Each structure stands twice: as C-alpha cells, then as structure tokens.
Amino acid sequence: MQPITITLDGREVSGYAGMSILELARESGVHIPTLCHDEQLSPIGACRLCIVEDEKTGALMASCVTPLAPGMTIKTSSPRVVTHRKTLVQLMLSSHPDSCPVCDKGNRCQLRQVAGEMGVSLTEFQRIPQSSAIQELNPFIERDLSKCILCAKCIRACQELVVEGVLDYFQRGFKTKPTTVGNLPLENSECTFCGTCVALCPTGALMEKEWSNRRTTGNIVESTCPYCGCGCRVNLHVKGDRLVQATPRWGDAGNHSLLCVRGSYGYDFIHSPDRLTRPLVRMNGNMEEASWDEALKVVAAEFLRIKNEYEPDSIAILGSARCTNEENYLLQRFARCVIGTNNVDDGNRLYTAATLAGLSVSLGFSQSSHFLDVLEKSDVIMVIGADPTSSAPCVGYAIKRAVKNKGSRLILVDPRRTKLSLFADLHLQLKPGTDIALLNALAMVIIQENLLDKEFVSRRTDNFSSLREALEPYSTEYAENVTRVPSEQIVAAARLYAKARQASIVYGNGITQYCTGTDSVKALANLSMLTGNTGRKGGAMIGLQKECNSRGALDMGMLPGLLPGFRSVTDARARGKFEALWGTNLPTRPGLTAVEVIEQAKLGKIKCLYVVGEDPIVSFPGTRVVRDALASLQFLVVQDLFLTETAKMATVVLPVASFAEKAGSYTNFEGKINKITKAIKPVGDSRPDWEIICTLVDKMNTPFSYSRLDDVIQEIEEAVPGYEGYSDSTRRHKNYENVADAGRLQGVQLRGFACFSPVEYQAPFKAKPKGYPFILLTGSALPHAGTGTRSLRAPRLRKLCPSGFLHVGEADAKKLALHNGDKVKITSRAGEIIAPVSISNSLPKGILFMPSTFPEIPVNTLFEISLDPQSKTPTLKACHVQIERMDTHD
Ligand code: SF4
C-alpha cells in the first residue's frame, strides 16, 4: 500500500489510504481530545472536539472522520483550533446540569476532564436547562439523560458491537436523546444489560446502580470472568475488602473487550450471606463448625482408612471446570499420586467430553480449532445445538457482528426460535435429537452435487469411500421424514455451506448432551472436512464451553484415562515421564468417569467421594439415583463456596475462596490462558482450593514439593504442552499471535490426515413412550449459569430472572388452556417436578423448554441415566414428558 505523507504540527509523518488524521496523530504520539471517539466504534464526528486545522486551506475539520490526503499540513492545537474547542466544550456545558459536585461519575467524567484540560470552567452561553427523570427501575443501570452529550457511543456499541439494536436516537433538535426503540424503559426493551453502554458513557448519563461509594475509584485489579468458557477479561474495582464493580478491559490484547450481564453485574455472590466461612464437620448427625486443622485431620484420616481398608480405586474425585488450571493440576496429582487412583473426572463429562472423543478421532485435535475472530472472517456460519446469545454471549455478539457488519450468512439448526433466528438466512427447525440424520443428509447433498473439495479430500483425508458408502441411505426425503426439515431447506443449507469461501461451525450442548453426542461431533467434522474448511479454507469448529475453565481442566489431566497434556494413563512412556516428575508410581488402569462413579457408588464399590466445586445432585441426571449413591458412601467431602445440595449430604464441608480471592489462571474455549488475580482477601476463613489440597496432602504425610503457587505454575509450564511460559503475559500474548498465524490446526498438521468417521443416525432417546407426548428441551437462560450456585446468589441477576419456568409454545398452551403462571406437573419415566408456565412464541408444537439452572425445580430429576458409549456423557438435553395443570386459572 502506497504511504500517504502529511505534515502534522510541523513534522512529516506517513499513514495509509483510509487512515484518519486522528489515527495518524495518535500513532505519532500527538494528543487530540475527543469525547465521541472510540477505536472499536465507527467514527461519526459528533462532538467535534477533535477538530484540527489544515494550514493550506484554512479548513477546520473533525480529525476522526477526515481521511489523510497527500500534502496536508495539519495543525492540531493552533490558537484557532483551541478557541473553537473551548467554545464547543462551553456549548456542551451550557446544556449540562449543574450537578457535578453531587454526580456519582465524579472525576471519571470525561466532559469534566476535557473541560479541566482546556481550562474551561464557566460558560458564557445561555444555559439550556435539561430535565429528565432518572430511570432506574431495572436492577443494573441508572439513566439520567439530562447529562447526555449525544456522543452516541451507547447507540453505536449497542448496534455495532453487541448488535442488540436496543438503543437509537429519539426525537429531534434539543429534545434528541439516545433511548430504546419506542422510548421504552430498559426493562421493557430487548436490552440484555450487558453493561457495554455504561462502560462507554463518558458522563454520568448511564451509570451502574447500587454499588457503594461510587466516586471512590479504589483499587482496580485485572482478572477474568469466572462464568462461561469465553473467558472475558474484567477489571475488578475494589474498596476495602469488597468487590464493588466490574468493568470490561477495553482494548486489552487477547480480550473481546465486551462482557455480558453476568460478567458486568454477576459478582455479588462473593459477598452473599450464604457463603461458607468455616469448615463444617458432621458430628452426631449435625453439621458443626470446626477449625481447618480439625476438619482436614478428619478428611486425611478417612481417605487413608478407606484406601488401606479397601483399595485406592474405592475412592473417587470429582473436580470442577470452575477451578483454576493450577487447582485442577493439583487435584489430579492428588488422585494419582496420593490416593493412587485414576478415578478423577469433572463436570466437563456432562458437556465437553463428546467434543474430546469426536474431534480427536476425526481431526486429531480435541478442542475448538480457532480464535473467536475467525467468525467475522467466515462468509458462512452454521450454529447447531447452541444458543450462544444466552450461554456464551460473547460468541453470540461475534456471530451477530459477522452477519450484520460483514455480510456473513447464517445457517441456524435449532428446534427453538432463538435470538439468532432473526439473523439467520436459513433456520432448520429440526426435531430434537435428529441432528445426525440432518448432518448426514447435508454431506450427501454435497457429494451428490459435487460440491466437495476434491483436492483436500484426496490429499489430506482418510476413509472417504467408507463415508460415501455409509451416507447412501441419507437422502433428503429420508432426512425430511426423520427431522421434519423440508428437503429444499436441507439442499439450500448444503449448497450455502459448501460453496462458502470459508465456513465455520459453532456447536453446543444441544448436540453433545445426548447419548449420540460423539457421533454428532464426528458428523460435523465430516462436513467440515468434505468442504475443505478444516484445513485449506480455514473454517473453524468451535465447541462452546459451559464453564470458565472447561478447556484448562482437560489440559491439566482431570480425566480418568488421560494424564496432563492428553497422554494416556496406559502409555508406559507417558506415565514414566510423570512418575519421574512426581517421584512415585502411577496407577495404570483408566478410572471411572463422573456418572460411572455415581453408578459404582450405588453398587457399593466406590466408598469415598471428594467433590470439589461440583453439585452432582443438581447437575447429574437421575437425581434420585445420585442421592441414593451419595447416601451409600462411607465418606463424602465437599469443597465449595456454598452449602450446595450435595454439600448438605457431606460428612465434611470445606469453604473455598472465590475467583476474586485467589490467584491462578483459566483457559478459555479458544485456548487462551487468562490470569485471575487476587483482588480481595478470602471471605471469612475460606481458602483457595489449591491451598486446601496442599494442606490435605501434608496431613496425609505425602507432601508435595510446592511451597507457593508459583512452584505449581512452573511445573505446569514444564509438564503441559501449550503452557510453556504462560505465567509471563508478554510471552503468552506472543504465543497467541503465533498460534493464530498458524491457523491453530495443529492436530491435522501434526498427523497429516484427517479421518472421515461414518456415523449412523439412531434416535438418542427411546421411542415416544405412551403417555408422554411432549419433548422437553433443557438449556440455559440469561442471566444464569451452570447450576446457579453463584448466579442465583447474585441478587441483581436474580431480579432479572428470579425463578425457574416451563416454556410452553402458544399452540400447546391454547390446546391445554394454560396461562402464564399456571403451575404444571411435568412427569417423565424417571420422575416429576412442578413448575410455573411461561408461554413462549419460540417453540414449535409438542416441544417444551426449561432452564436447568434452578435447584428448586430440579429438571434433571426427569432424566434417566443414559450414557454416550464413547464419551460417557449422559443425555441431559431432551426427554419425553407429560404435563398436567396443577391449579386453575381465574
Ligand atoms: Fe464473557 Fe461468558 Fe463472562 Fe459473559 S459469562 S462476561 S460471555 S466470560
């Protein structure tokens, strides 16, 4: 690209075509004040504070929207420019309320900062009083539009970054305000309260509600959101011992900059009165407070007794993808070295195991293949079995940006109408659980119409002829019959996907949480390989991850068959490496997966269970079976933030520190290793999980050699591939860049060939049993996450979505004469629950939906235990049910 040279404040500087004067000035270290500009938003020149003067023509122009032209001679702070800027600030102040001394924005107000910088205090202009009622009915945001300076940052962020489109200008002239479409209160609009507009507002027009002493900035600590696998980076604002606010880390390298409602307002659980603050030990049937020494002595003694009296494999450890990398590493080492068992697994078994099992066979790598930004480079995106707008909102934002701003075409495969339906070119509303029939039919159309990437298939893949043969029965007519998706839509989707220059796939629990989940992942990989997207075209396979450290827990070896770095426990060489590192012999037999542990406990073979950060009573299928299994244990110890349903059954409960009270790292779904930093001291007498594990090991007389967390980090850097130098942020970001450049297809490149896996469609749940005419789908509901342990204890999130519900489609509700709020009994072959009805226009006939977040309506009670034979993931996504009204509507 030909450089463009201009003179800037007497200095010759060069930029490129399309670059604005403001961009070049900032790049050259020249400060130009702005109020409406942000590098992540399209420039609009609204505030005009960035005016500069072209010495040759005398023109005054807004530098943010004026592109470079050869030979320009720009002055950024000539007397004329400065005078005009002062006038502009005075004009803004003339219609700004006199409330600065009491405004909660305080010294963080950018208008005030700019005025101070220019020496503007009083305005000569006639004051134009602005009156606007403060709106604050919603739990999160306070709006005082009298302080608005019309910079439109909130509007642009909502439309361009979050692509919610809730905000726009309303009215004209002096009455112009940014507000919701139709000027509705935020709580009655489509606003998801992601907090982006609040974070960007330069004045006190948009403020966060309800955090104490707002004008006191306090301490700001860099950390990572502990909810979903997006791993968004946050600034935690601390005052004394309290975390008072969280804001996005704008422009942080390796960060998506945005947050969702959970990331912005979901940390109140830290100071919940429900927090466990002291260890509890059951004595004579009652839970009683104990010292750490007393509690850990009991745990150590019981572990040793059971290990010696029975065998190491009579003990199992259930960890959590909510714990840090370091804690997961220590926990699996504890299981293998101290107890001597591979019975170590975590909640990933319920969500991510099918991805691991499927992708490692097909593609040779076991996790998402790309960074999130690949979506905005893809001209086609297929979203299947996922509603990222609620489960992984930052992925949802990226998909919407790709469609709206980059013209990508979206194929949505989902039985329900979700927010993404509005963005989809094609919405294939298939019957739940029939994904494999659909995916096979798509592959068949691609082959029959000769749309496959022959070069990639012949040079870089194995097993094509078997796939071709296995796909024979999957005509579009057959698929229509099974899936209820019209043939013409199947053909259109296959053509759209196959003809794309680059097509990516985003998938979620909607395909992995079935007993056919691994086969569905393989069918997706087949599509990606057939079209050369995995490999040549650079299309991604992105599996969404439910927890903040799903990927890291797997990397650290929280798997019954795999050591850290995915090395098999049956591989003598791999074992030898860790035996040398840890100075002990390791068990050779693969252990039990999470749900198998429960089954074996019920049979009396598992005698002791150590649960760290999981709540199997709520998150596992077959609630009754899980309760019975836990009741039959000789010893149950639970380590958690709260007295969960599982903790209530324990002999010992150990209180842990939250993410804000400890250091460590999480690995997000892209493989980025993000630091968490201790921002406040642990609440009460709680301790970080890693510290508890190390003390427990000491008490069992087999101490680890770590004296501090850094020792653990150093060992991970040496022992786990991909984690080299991760504690050094400069090196970490360099690694990201290298990996991004390499396209991240390490597995395929290492092995050389991807492998087609023919898969057969089988109904994932038993044929409709008589008397159970509905299919109940489960999933997530913003603003909650996981089993709700944390988000339900964040009062503001709870206000937004206070309790569980059963979504019933309009047609079914009419037929059953159901109204909003009616209580219904939902019965399956496994159990029954009661829930209030919420009528929804997002469901086709015969399909119901319920979020699985609310322990008071334990939806997993309705599921029998049915495992995917390959990944051992239980079916938790859909089951047949009957509904019956409990009360009458008047
Ligand atoms: Fe980001 Fe997920 Fe946290 Fe939302 S919940 S802020 S998308 S990491």
Predicted confidence (pLDDT) per residue in 358-396, tens digit: 998 888 877 787 889 999 999 999 999 999 999 999 999
Query: Which segment of 202-206, 553-557, 731-735 scores lowest on mean pLDDT?
Result: 731-735
Cα–ligand 1 centroid distance for 361 (angstroms):
30
What's the half-sphere exposure (Cβ side, CA atoms, 13 Å) at 238?
18
Q: Decide: helix, strand or coil at residue 783.
A: coil
Predicted confidence (pLDDT) per residue in 150-181, tens digit: 999 999 999 999 999 999 988 888 788 888 98
The closest-lying atom of ligand 1 relative to the alpha carbon of residue 264 is 6
* Predicted pLDDT at 214: 57
Pocket probe for ligand 1: among 230, 399, 550, the residue whose CB has the most ligand atoms within 8 Å is 230
The closest-lying atom of ligand 1 relative to the alpha carbon of residue 260 is 4
Q: Decide: helix, strand or coil at residue 836.
A: strand
* Predicted pLDDT at 734: 55
Pocket probe for ligand 1: among 223, 227, 550, the residue whose CB has the most ligand atoms within 8 Å is 227
* Predicted pLDDT at 729: 67
The closest-lying atom of ligand 1 relative to the alpha carbon of residue 548 is 8
The closest-lying atom of ligand 1 relative to the alpha carbon of residue 394 is 7
* Predicted pLDDT at 124: 78
- pLDDT band (50, 70, 90) for residue 343: very high
* Predicted pLDDT at 377: 94
Mean pLDDT of 622-640: 96
Cα–ligand 1 centroid distance for 853 (angstroms):
16
The closest-lying atom of ligand 1 relative to the alpha carbon of residue 392 is 7
Cα–ligand 1 centroid distance for 322 (angstroms):
13
Pocket probe for ligand 1: among 140, 252, 255, 262, the residue whose CB has the most ligand atoms within 8 Å is 262
What's the half-sphere exposure (Cβ side, CA atoms, 13 Å) at 326?
27
* Predicted pLDDT at 396: 96
Cα–ligand 1 centroid distance for 384 (angstroms):
20
Mean pLDDT of 6-16: 96
Question: Which residues, 6 or more positions from 38, have their beta carbon under 8 angstroms from its beta carbon?
Answer: 153, 156, 157, 200
The closest-lying atom of ligand 1 relative to the alpha carbon of residue 230 is 8
Please tell me which residue, 702 or 309, carries the higher pLDDT value. Answer: 309
Cα–ligand 1 centroid distance for 242 (angstroms):
21
* Predicted pLDDT at 487: 98
- Give percent helix, percent strand, percent coil of the chain, each to the nearest 5: 35, 20, 45
Cα–ligand 1 centroid distance for 281 (angstroms):
35
Cα–ligand 1 centroid distance for 300 (angstroms):
37
Mean pLDDT of 836-860: 94
Pocket probe for ligand 1: among 224, 256, 394, 546, the residue whose CB has the most ligand atoms within 8 Å is 394
Q: Is the pLDDT of residue 131 over 80?
A: no
CA angle 282, 287, 291 (to 5 degrees): 80
Q: Residue 693 burial (CB < 10 Å; 0-12/13-18/19+)?
A: buried
Q: Is the pLDDT of residue 824 over 90?
A: yes
Cα–ligand 1 centroid distance for 232 (angstroms):
6
The closest-lying atom of ligand 1 relative to the alpha carbon of residue 256 is 1
Cα–ligand 1 centroid distance for 306 (angstroms):
41
Tokens of residue 30, six digits: 């020249």
Mean pLDDT of 80-100: 92
Cα–ligand 1 centroid distance for 259 (angstroms):
6
Instruction: Give the DSSP letter of residue 329.
Output: H
Cα–ligand 1 centroid distance for 412 (angstroms):
22
The closest-lying atom of ligand 1 relative to the alpha carbon of residue 393 is 7
- pLDDT band (50, 70, 90) for residue 731: low
The closest-lying atom of ligand 1 relative to the alpha carbon of residue 668 is 8
- pLDDT band (50, 70, 90) for residue 766: low
Only one residue has tokens 């101070």, namely 116
Share of the chain above pLDDT 70, in %: 95
Pocket probe for ligand 1: among 223, 232, 545, the residue whose CB has the most ligand atoms within 8 Å is 232
Cα–ligand 1 centroid distance for 872 (angstroms):
27
Q: Name the closest-CA residue to atom 1, ligand 1.
A: 232
* Residue 888 Cα to chain centre, angstroms: 40
Could you tell me the CA-to-CA distances from 203 to 148, 151, 249, 630, 809 in Å, in that order?
7, 10, 18, 54, 43
By C-alpha distance, which of 629, 635, 688, 694 is closest to 661? 688
Pocket probe for ligand 1: among 260, 390, 506, 550, the residue whose CB has the most ligand atoms within 8 Å is 260
The closest-lying atom of ligand 1 relative to the alpha carbon of residue 395 is 7
pLDDT averaged over every residue in the chain: 92
Q: Residue 592 burial (CB < 10 Å; 0-12/13-18/19+)?
A: buried
Q: Name the closest-CA residue to atom 3, ligand 1.
A: 263
Q: Answer left, alpha or beta for residue 29, where phi above 0 means left and psi between -120 and 50 means alpha.
A: left
Tokens of residue 478, six digits: 């057959």
Residues with CB under 6 A from ligand 1: 225, 227-228, 230-232, 259-260, 262-263, 392-394
Mean pLDDT of 80-98: 93
- pLDDT band (50, 70, 90) for residue 780: confident
Predicted confidence (pLDDT) per residue in 273-322, tens digit: 999 999 999 999 899 999 999 999 999 999 999 999 999 999 999 999 99
Mean pLDDT of 787-811: 94
Mean pLDDT of 646-657: 98
Cα–ligand 1 centroid distance for 346 (angstroms):
21
Cα–ligand 1 centroid distance for 510 (angstroms):
19
Q: Name the closest-CA residue to atom 4, ligand 1.
A: 260
* Predicted pLDDT at 746: 36
- pLDDT band (50, 70, 90) for residue 728: confident
- pLDDT band (50, 70, 90) for residue 217: low
Pocket probe for ligand 1: among 192, 228, 667, the residue whose CB has the most ligand atoms within 8 Å is 228
256/308 Cα distance (integer angstroms): 50
Tokens of residue 614, six digits: 């999981």
Cα–ligand 1 centroid distance for 255 (angstroms):
11
Looking at residue 73, its amino acid is: T
pTM of the model: 0.94
236/221 Cα distance (integer angstroms): 5
Q: Is the peptide bond before 783 cis (omega within 30 degrees of 0)?
A: yes
Q: Is the pLDDT of residue 207 over 60?
A: yes
Query: Which segment of 49-53, 127-131, 181-185, 509-513 scores lowest on mean pLDDT?
Result: 127-131
Cα–ligand 1 centroid distance for 832 (angstroms):
32
Only one residue has tokens 């302080």, namely 147
Instruction: Give the DSSP letter of residue 115.
Output: H
- pLDDT band (50, 70, 90) for residue 769: confident
Q: Phi and psi at residue 685, in whole multiples of 5°?
A: -105, 25
Cα–ligand 1 centroid distance for 569 (angstroms):
34
Question: Which residues, 6 or more positions from 671, have their beta carbon under 8 angstroms from its beta carbon?
Answer: 367, 368, 551, 722, 739, 744
Question: Which residues, 6 or more positions from 164, have their beta carbon under 8 angstroms from its beta carbon?
Answer: 158, 190, 191, 192, 194
- pLDDT band (50, 70, 90) for residue 76: very high
Q: Name the closest-CA residue to atom 2, ligand 1.
A: 228
* Predicted pLDDT at 820: 96
The closest-lying atom of ligand 1 relative to the alpha carbon of residue 225 is 3
- pLDDT band (50, 70, 90) for residue 108: confident
Q: Is the pLDDT of residue 187 over 50?
A: yes
* Predicted pLDDT at 888: 58
- pLDDT band (50, 70, 90) for residue 732: low
End-to-end CA distance of the chain: 72
